[in-house]
Every structure is written in C-alpha cells, then in structure tokens.
Amino acid sequence: MKDVQSTMKPPFRADHVGSLLRPKAISDARAAGKTGTELKEIEDREIPKIVAMQEETGIKAVTDGEARRAFWHYDFMDMLDGLDIEEDDGQGFVFSGVKTPGVFPALNGPLDFPADHPMLGHFRFLAEHTTHCPKISIPGPSAVHFRADASRIRHEPYKDTEVLLVDIAKTYKKAVQAFYDAGCRYLQLDDIFFAYLCDPKHRAEKAEAGLDPDWLIERYAWMMREAIKDRPEDMMIGMHMCRGNFRSTHAAEGAYDLAAEAIFSTGVDIFFMEYDSDRAGGLEPLRLLPKGKQRIMPGFITTKTPELEDIDALRRKFDEAAKYVDLDQLGIAPQCGFASTEHGNAVTEDDQKRKLELVVKTAEAIWGEA
C-alpha cells in the first residue's frame, strides 16, 4: 500500500489545468472597486474554500483557482520588470463571437523576474492551506512574445526578435528557480500558443508581421527548454495547451501536427492537451511522445459547457489514444481551466465540482487510482 505522502507527489492520473470560477465574494469586491489590503483580506478568506472544494473531489493537485487574477497571463506578466499591461479604449482579441477587454502587454524596458514577484507569495499562501500537492500555473514563455504587438515593443533591443526571445528565456529560467526556492515542486506553464500556431488564421497573421510561424514554434520550444532545463530533479513541470478559453468561447482551431514534435522536445514532464472537440484534430500526434516517464493528459472533458461526459465514452477515447501512446503515459484532466479570466465560463460552481469529480472517477475507472 502506498503511503499518503508518496501519493501526493506528481504526476497524477487525475489533474486539472488550474483556473476556477471566482467566488462571488471576490467578484463582488472587485466590482465594488476594492483593491489592496481590503481585497486581499477577502481573497485570503475565500481561497481556502476553493482549496477545500478541490480536496473534496479527490483531486490531489490543488491550485488557488487563479482567484487573485483577472487574466490567466496578464497579471503575471504585468508583475515582471520591463513589461507593462496597458489599457486601450478599443476591444481586445477576437474569440468566437466575443472580444476580450482592451488590455495589451507592452515591452518598455529590459525583462527580468523580480525577487518580490507577488505570485511567489500567492504560492506560499496556497501551500499553507492544503494537505494536498500545491500547484501554481503561470503563462508560458511564448505568451510574452505572442501577445506583444510590434507597436508596443518600445525597448529598442527587443525590436530584434531573437534578442527578445533570449531575454524571455532568461527571465523564465529565473522564475522557475524562484518558485522552487519558494517551495514549489509542481509548476505549470500555460504555453497555449503552440496550438494557436497550428491554426491557419493565426499562422497567416504572424506571417504578415514578418514572422515565420514554423520558426516561431521551434523558438518557442527552445525558450521552454532553456527555462526549465536546470530545474532541480524533484520539481515537476507541466505545460497546458489549448485554443483559447474566454467565456466558453475559443480563438483558434487546428490539429497539433505542425507543433507536436517541437512540443514533445521541450523536456516538460506533463502535457495538458485540449481534446474536447474536433477543433483539436486527431490523436495521431500523440505518437511522437518519446517512451519514458513523460505524461499526456488529454482534455476529453470540457470546461466550456455543463453537460457531464459519459465515462464509457471517455474509456473509448482512451482506447483510441492508447493506439498512439502507452496507456501508462496517459492521465486525464479537463481541456482547460474553468475561468481563464475573471469572467468565467458558462458553468456553475456545482457544474465545476461535478466535472472535477468526473475526472477523478474516470482516472479510477481506467488506472485504478487518481
């Protein structure tokens, strides 16, 4: 029989991407304009409840639900030296039928990861309030470049893309070590733009900007390798990929084929891969995962709608996946978070909990453990 401590070390058969619906108390506080200490007191009160909910479902890797953030990526990026999130009167990025708020990253100086980055404290708070494995998710290195429009790259050296990518990698390398020093042993980097660069529309946009999308895929993989290659042996790295998740909508589509080889070359331990719709293409790219200890978590369970998937149907999907990759190198997680932004998806807190419970039940049905 496994001891309790060993069962709380990743990788797990059942996991989730990280973001959760914001508790009403936090949403109301922000809507009322509360900030600083006043808002933090409310977040500190509500986050332990989020943690307890996850523990009740049987999930072993728990997060703070990204409850202190407005966006999955911009909050982290705004806390870096040299990068600022700027507001624009217009709308932001186009998803299927909706647009995000008009906020954009700007590179105004040399990039660096500050020793007092607030999310180090966010992780420590989480770790102090769980008996399970605390995990924090941050945007992957590609997010800094992919979302940085040329007009907002104002630090002169960064107008040379290669110089910028090198500094992004250095910044993330420092971040990985800083989270380890804060006690983090399970860090997830959301590098969704590998999937975006498999979409003809997004590939065309980058080509119009003078950037070869295939070159970007290779360089994004290089940044990830550089960022994590010197991590301590007892630190597990996850990477999430999806095609956008804003109010249950998406922003990209296309199979992983164009990026799969680069993705699996990064040295990441656990790959969270969206697979809840035809937008993700077939499972054939999974065959490129090297044999060994790396693990893929196919996102057959969606966070975009409340309907629960059928366990027998999920079993059949894993039977199909096992044609391309050993079943022992698979686990299960939802296709994305439940609230990549504070706006949340079109599901309720009860729906969210049932989805997480389904993840655990499916893992137990297939592997006999979560």
Predicted pLDDT at 94: 52
**Cβ distance 105 to 77 under 8 Å?**
yes
Instruction: Report strand pairing: 136-139 vs 133-134.
Output: unpaired
Closest CA to 341 of 224, 238, 240, 249: 249
| C-alpha–C-alpha distance, residues 358 and 276, integer Å | 14
Q: The dihedral of CA 339, 342, 346, 349: what is its sign?
A: positive
| C-alpha–C-alpha distance, residues 245 and 341, integer Å | 8
How many structural domains is the chain composed of?
A: 1
Could you list the beta-strand ranges (E) of the chain: 61-62, 81-87, 103-112, 133-134, 136-139, 186-190, 236-241, 270-274, 295-299
Q: The dihedral of CA 370, 285, 142, 268: what is its sign?
A: positive
Closest CA to 270 of 180, 359, 187: 187
In angstroms, how far is CA 57 from the centroid of its own chain? 20
**pLDDT tens digits in sequence order for the chain, 370 residues long:** 234 445 789 999 999 999 999 999 999 999 999 999 999 999 999 999 999 999 999 999 999 999 999 998 999 999 999 999 998 766 555 545 555 567 889 999 999 999 999 999 999 999 999 999 999 999 999 999 998 888 899 999 999 999 999 999 999 999 999 999 999 999 999 999 999 999 999 999 999 999 999 999 999 999 999 999 999 999 999 999 988 766 566 567 889 999 999 999 999 999 999 998 888 899 999 999 999 999 999 999 999 999 999 999 999 999 999 999 999 999 999 999 999 888 878 999 999 999 999 999 999 999 999 9
Peptide bond between residue 157 and the one before it cis (omega within 30 degrees of 0): no
**Cβ distance 331 to 297 under 8 Å?**
yes
Predicted pLDDT at 246: 66
Predicted pLDDT at 1: 29
pTM score, two decimals? 0.94
- The DSSP element (H or E) to which 222 belongs, if any, is helix 213-228
Predicted pLDDT at 250: 58
Predicted pLDDT at 248: 62
Closest CA to 142 of 245, 73, 65: 73
Q: DSSP code of 195?
A: H
CATH of the domain at 118: 3.20.20.210
State the angle between helix axes of 36-57 and 118-128 in degrees (0 to 180), rounded to the nearest 10. Answer: 50
Structure tokens at 46: 């509500």
| C-alpha–C-alpha distance, residues 19 and 29, integer Å | 19
Range of the domain at 207: 4-367
**Cβ distance 99 to 92 under 8 Å?**
yes
Query: Longest C-alpha distance within the chain, in Å?
Result: 59
